[in-house]
Structure 1
């Protein structure tokens, strides 16, 4: 039993889906749990639908969703002949699920509607891929992961109920492998006990794959990406990014913590608990070895560079010049917990403190307003958070040249700088 996860870039058009089929053909005797993300930039497109709907722009939201529909229908037409009509029935059910919602008026918080709308991306992509695999003779069973993954109602960053979900995997998923060699399902999404769709956080498909691997006692997990393996930096930002052949769990958790997009922050723990190796494989050339992530020490790593853009700096100063002590910090953490805000960097001083956050305007504004009861608050936007593990002087100087360092934290292994 292996778990394969294919990201959005791996199913972004019909040619990529055909290549996915070619990869699956290379494992004719393997039981495969295949986890798939939304096609290409579908998640971004559906986010715009959610934003328009929540802003009361119903016609704009419907028009934006129509573009998503047409994109998927076009891909299906290129890929399918005999399985096209059954697929159309399935896709129309998903289209209707969103369109009914778009004709309503928003009465709940944005994150709830975000999840109800955005989750359809994975449902559409997996339905198309499953139908295509059946079309080319690779028999498989499609399942709706929302019937399996039970979560809480922390929309956009839901937590999985492991106990209930394991029961569902045992009852629903494991028996499928006695009839089919391959099961296809969605990453990134789940469902509450009220039958409301949830998402597990951006890039959550990796996490889905890891949870399935844990619950199915898989031999390993392979995440198929558009790079030859894990790189020490984003190759889209750094032309000289270096390939890394192996990493250990701890290093990848550190990379994820600082914002590296190659592996979802939650992905490693389920694998580490059962010592399941994770492979990051090249979608364009399956013969390449990729990167293996395991529990063994790895030495002599190059500087690992993580860039997070669209950052906000909140500067909080006590109104009465009292120390930023236990009570103000406790109050601040309570405010962040209520808003589900996770700071990327915190630096405290005698009578002030600084918070670096992702620029999510709805949450940042609410936090700034709540904090203004105890602090004078200043907000600075348009910043970039640079984190470098295993740094050296040359790398730091090169990456900060011509930049203003607004905030800096440094340890023996890692340096973080907020840059303007």
Structure 2
């Protein structure tokens, strides 16, 4: 058994969807679970639908959703001939599921409605692609993953019930005659059949959950890049492909903000020693990157830049040491607001937090922290992280910057600058 995951960029056009067929044909004699994300920018579009609905703009929400409907129906018309009517009927069921909610008035928290609306993206894309593949001779079984992955009701960051999910996953594979099971990532459901999501980029995690439960031979993430690069090639044209990486290294990269693999994805694979391949969707013949337990030496410098950073200065109100009690209270605040600092620097009577500039979260944290600290906030900063840095590269990257904060170890340097 192998697990494949195709991201939104892999299914953002008719031509790219047709290319999935060519990739899967090369594995037609193998057992596959195929996870497919929402098409292109559909998730972002559905987020706007949710925002309009929650703000009481029902007509705007319905209009925005109508655009999404028409885009998917157009894609289905281009891809399908004999299977179009059956596909349309199933799509219409998903449309109705969302529209029924949009005609109501919000009475629950925003995150609840977010999950009920946004989950539609994965259902629409996989429905169309499943019918297309079956029509094109790539037999597959479409499955609503909400029937398999059981979660709690922590909407937008749901936690998986592993016992229930494991039983349903094994049962699904045992009862299925097709080599290919095609389903969604990112979503699940509660025991009351309310849709949930597993956090942004959660499709990679879904694939890892299936790989773990089924003791898969491997997991492959198909992307529109050559593999895992040492930096964002759009910012750094000389970024290098890294042919192999350890699980530990990828976790470090993810921790510092590299947009390669979702942090939660690695653990289920690492626990079972299942290798993760990152392959190029546009050219399947390229070797890509393999991520596994082996320790890899002589890696190139890995560069990560996070824009729109905030530095929160916290100073003891009575000039006492910032000790265990105020620190524990601060961490409690961070946990309650679900905020992960990108950098923390402590002094005797002060500390500084570098955070993503999420306005509402920053305001809430500043208000809570002001009960025990004097608080100042500095905005419009950037955070540079370099793993496996060299002195020459560090000088080149910072020579014209106004450095606000710096942390350095033999492996990693972080610099906050204006």
1:308-387 alignment runs, 5 A limit = 308-387=306-385
Q: Quick check: 2:28–2:179 contact (8 Å CA) kept in 1?
A: no
Paired residue secondary structure (2:153): coil
Shift of 1:330: 1.0
Quote how far apart the aligned CAs of 1:209 are. Answer: 0.7
Q: Secondary structure at the match of 1:101?
A: helix
> 1:69 — aligned with what?
69
SS of structure 2 residue aligned to 1:267? helix
What is the aligned partner in structure 2 of residue 290 from structure 1?
A: 288
- What is the TM-score when the length of structure 2 is the normalising length? 0.96
Number of the residue aligned with 2:173:
174
Q: 2:405, 2:417 within 8 Å by CA — same for their partners in 1?
A: yes
Structure 1 residue 32: deviation in Å?
0.7
SS at match of 1:266: helix
The Cα shift of 1:231 comes to: 0.5
Q: What are the superposed Cα offsets for residues 53-88 of structure 1, whole Å, 9 maximum, x if unpaired?
A: 222222222222121111111111110111111111
Matches of 1:146 and 1:419 in 2, distance apart?
44
CA contact (8 A) 2:4 2:220 kept: yes
What's the counterpart of residue 157 of structure 1?
157
Q: Please, what TM-score do these two structures have when normalized by structure 1?
A: 0.96
The CA distance in 2 between the partners of 1:46 and 1:276, in whole Å, is 34
1:8 paired to 2:12: no
- How many residue pairs were aligned? 418
Instruction: Find the counterpart in structure 2 of residue 253 from structure 1.
Output: 251
Q: Deviations over 1:320-379 (max 9, x none)?
A: 222211111111111121222222221112222212222222322222222221122222
C-alpha change, 1:207 and 1:107, in structure 2 (3 Å) is same
User: What SS does the corresponding residue of 1:185 show, helix, strand or coil?
Assistant: strand
Question: What is the SS of the residue equivalent to 1:243?
Answer: coil
SS in 1 for 2:274: coil
Does residue 221 of structure 1 match 2:219?
A: yes
Residues 373/126 of structure 1: CA separation in 2 closer, same or farther (3 Å cut): same
Q: Give, in whole Å, the separation in 1 of the partners of 2:55 and 2:311.
A: 26
The verdict on how the C-alpha distance between 1:101 and 1:356 changes in structure 2, with shifts beyond 3 A counting, is farther
CA distance in 1 between partners of 2:337 and 2:318 (Å): 26
- Out of 210, 219, 222, the position equivalent to 2:208 is 210
SS at match of 2:208: helix
1:381: how far off? 2.8
Deviation (angstroms), 1:103: 2.2
**DSSP 3-state at the match of 2:3:** strand
- On the 8 A contact 2:385/2:414 being kept in 1, the answer is yes
Distance 1:78 1:223, change over 3 A: same
Q: 2:84: which partner in 1?
A: 84
| Alpha-carbon distance, 1:244 to partner | 0.9
Structure 1 range deviating more: 354-363 or 258-267? 354-363
Matches within 5 A, 1:72-151: 72-151=72-151
Q: 1:416 aligns with which of 407, 414, 417?
A: 414
What is the aligned partner in structure 2 of residue 398 from structure 1? 396
Residue of structure 1 aligned with 2:239, choices 228, 237, 241: 241
Whole-Å Cα distance in 2 between the matches of residues 233 and 403 of structure 1?
A: 19
Deviates more, 1:26-35 or 1:232-241: 232-241
| Alignment CA distance shift 1:343-1:194 (3 Å) | farther
Matched, 1:47 2:51: no
1:176, 1:183 within 8 Å by CA — same for their partners in 2? Answer: no
Rate the CA distance shift 1:262–1:125 in 2: closer, same or farther, 3 A: same
Is this contact kept in 1: 2:28–2:138, CA < 8 A? no
Quote the Cα distance in structure 1 between the aligned partners of 2:366 and 2:91.
Answer: 42
**Contact 1:203-1:261 within 8 A present in 2 as well:** no
Q: Are 2:150 and 2:161, in contact at CA under 8 Å, matched by a contact in 1?
A: yes
CA contact (8 A) 2:3 2:34 kept: yes
Deviations 1:282-337 (A, max 9, x none): 10111111111111121110001122223222222222222211111111111121
What is the RMSD of the two structures over their aligned residues, measured on CA atoms? 1.5
> 182, 195, 198: which is aligned to 2:196?
198
Aligned CA distance change for structure 1 residues 23 and 225 (closer, same or farther; 3 Å): same
Match of 2:29 in 1: 29
Cα gap change, 1:381 to 1:170, in 2 (>3 Å): same
Distance 2:310 2:110 in 1: 21
